[in-house]
Amino acid sequence: MAARAADGTDAADRDVPDVPDGVRPPAEPPRAVTLDHVLGARKILSGVVRTTPLEGSRHLSGLIGAPVHLKCENLQRTGSFKVRGAYTRIAALAREERAAGVVAASAGNHAQGVALAAALLGVRATVFMPVSAPLPKIAATRSYGAGVRLCGQGLDEALSAARQHARRTGAVLVHPFDHPDVVAGQGTVGLEILEQCPEVRTIVVAMGGGGLAAGTAVAVKALRPDVRIVGVQAAGAAAYPPSLAAGRPVTLAEPVTMADGILVGRPGAVPFALVRELVDEVRTVSEDALARALLLCLERAKMVVEPAGAAPVAALLAEPDSFEGPLVAVLSGGNVDPLLLQRVLRHGMAAAGRYLSLSVRLTDRPGALAALLEVLSAADANVLDVGHVRTDPRLGLTEAEVELHLETKGHAHCAAVREALRAAGYRVTA
């Protein structure tokens, strides 16, 4: 077990401050995680976590020209891989540490993992969550028996509050990614992949703080050093590329992404060292790519995933020719807020050309709108919403502008609808 600091937290759980380039930080190097640690975690987790299924994807296989499999951690207990690391960490605590309880900070998935793990081990748990955390994740965390306290706007503020709670009460901080036991627990995903797909050549995994990617890489590279490990971050919260370039964890000023599961502004010291050594490449994906990937998982794989869980699929969609198969993409979580899912689906459908918004100017006379709708009907565009503007000063005295939201069948159909309107004499302004 890692050494305890004077403030009641493990040394691996404390933030390592940024230091100027060329200056070595005074902190001790993080403890390594080895294959033996991962194998030990697997014994601890036996009978506790599911061996999640590996499902083939014909659609993605066709895109990259080689077999693609989805590792369905969205079907894990609590809906994500996080319970693996949380249970491994808490199970390793001494009796007196368990008696003091545990505390965690999370936007949702780690919270649920800690809550369930603590309940199974008979340990009191307190979880600090951002006030913006999705309501279903808050409710699920409470349902597993943990006390939930809402604090701050993001994970960093919640984590600071959790550390203060640990200092006040003596509770053990269960960090979401920056601890060897947590990384070892997440590494059991890699062991399962090798057993389920021994011919695998590439594994693609989402990255926030880096615990899952680091643990997977430890297990896989020890047994199959030829397998390529690719980490994927949301472009708006990609702390690993600048950190790897600097040779140390650095902090993003304002990380932003809808993928709350990987919304982390600074890599953990423990996973960073392992990622730098063992992960072959880190890629970034846009919000549009995440939305398209989530939509594809629903439509083609019949899998409900959250945006973070869809990040590996987003990377495949962005550059399908750049991956070697057979390939395994890890769907890391499925705990998506229904309201976010609704917005993401609409955004994803728009990005895929399934929605079209435009404005059309026409003569303001009886029957003009009906004639416009006839053109759209002939073009096989389904009208979802219509707005009629007559008072805009940019319009002529006899003009009206119609704002249309249409359901379409893809980018080619969108172009055909626009062309049909122009051919009918309409001025399309947006």
Look at residue 249 in the predicted model and tell me its pLDDT: 96
Look at residue 13 in the predicted model and tell me its pLDDT: 46
Give, in order, the Cα–Cα distances in Å from 313 to each of 186, 232, 325, 420.
Answer: 20, 9, 14, 35
For residues 11-28, average pLDDT: 43
CB atoms within 10 A of CB 7: 12
Strands of 144-241 (E only): list them. 147-150, 172-173, 202-206, 228-234
Strands of 107-158 (E only): list them. 125-129, 147-150
Verify whether residue 332 is a known catalytic residue.
Answer: yes
267-277: b (≥16 Cβ within 10 Å) or e: bbbbbbbbbbe
Per the residue annotation, which of 71, 82, 137, 221 is the catalytic one?
82
Residue 17 pLDDT level (bands cut at 50, 70, 90): very low
User: How is 321-351 classified by DSSP, letter by letter?
Assistant: GG--SSEEEEE-B----HHHHHHHHHHHHHH
Over the stretch 140-157, which tens digit does the pLDDT of each residue have? Answer: 999 999 999 998 877 778
Question: For residue 325, what are the contacts with CB-CB under 8 A and spacing of at least 6?
Answer: 61, 64, 65, 66, 67, 68, 201, 202
For residues 414-425, average pLDDT: 90
Question: For residue 218, what are the contacts with CB-CB under 8 A and spacing of at least 6?
Answer: 33, 34, 35, 37, 38, 183, 184, 187, 190, 274, 278
Look at residue 397 in the predicted model and tell me its pLDDT: 66
pTM for this predicted structure: 0.82
For residues 260-266, average pLDDT: 90
- The proportion of the chain whose per-residue pLDDT surpasses 90, expressed as a percent, equals 63
Cβ-contact 217, 278 below 8 angstroms:
yes
Question: For residue 366, what are the contacts with CB-CB under 8 A and spacing of at least 6?
Answer: none
Over the stretch 55-106, which tens digit does the pLDDT of each residue have? Answer: 999 999 999 999 999 999 999 999 999 999 999 999 999 999 999 999 999 8
Q: Provide the mean pLDDT of the chain.
A: 88
Over the stretch 241-256, which tens digit does the pLDDT of each residue have? Answer: 999 999 999 999 889 9
Strands of 40-143 (E only): list them. 54-56, 68-72, 102-105, 125-129
Q: For the chain, list the domains and their CATH numbers.
A: 35-80+181-349 (3.40.50.1100), 83-177 (3.40.50.1100), 353-428 (3.30.70.260)
SS3 304: coil
pLDDT above 90 for 210: yes
Nearest-angstrom CA–CA distance, 70 and 302: 11
Verify whether residue 359 is a known catalytic residue.
Answer: no
Higher-scoring residue by pLDDT: 27, 263 = 263
Report strand pairing: 281-285 vs 228-234: parallel
* Region of residue 306 (left: phi > 0; alpha: psi -120 to 50; beta: else): beta
Over the stretch 134-144, which tens digit does the pLDDT of each residue have? Answer: 788 899 999 99
Reference 64, options 191, 201, 225, 192; nearest CA is 201
Nearest-angstrom CA–CA distance, 267 and 283: 15
pLDDT above 90 for 52: yes
Look at residue 380 in the predicted model and tell me its pLDDT: 92
Q: Which two tokens stand for residue 231?
A: 């980490």
Alpha helices in 358-410 (DSSP H): 368-378
Report strand pairing: 382-389 vs 355-363: unpaired
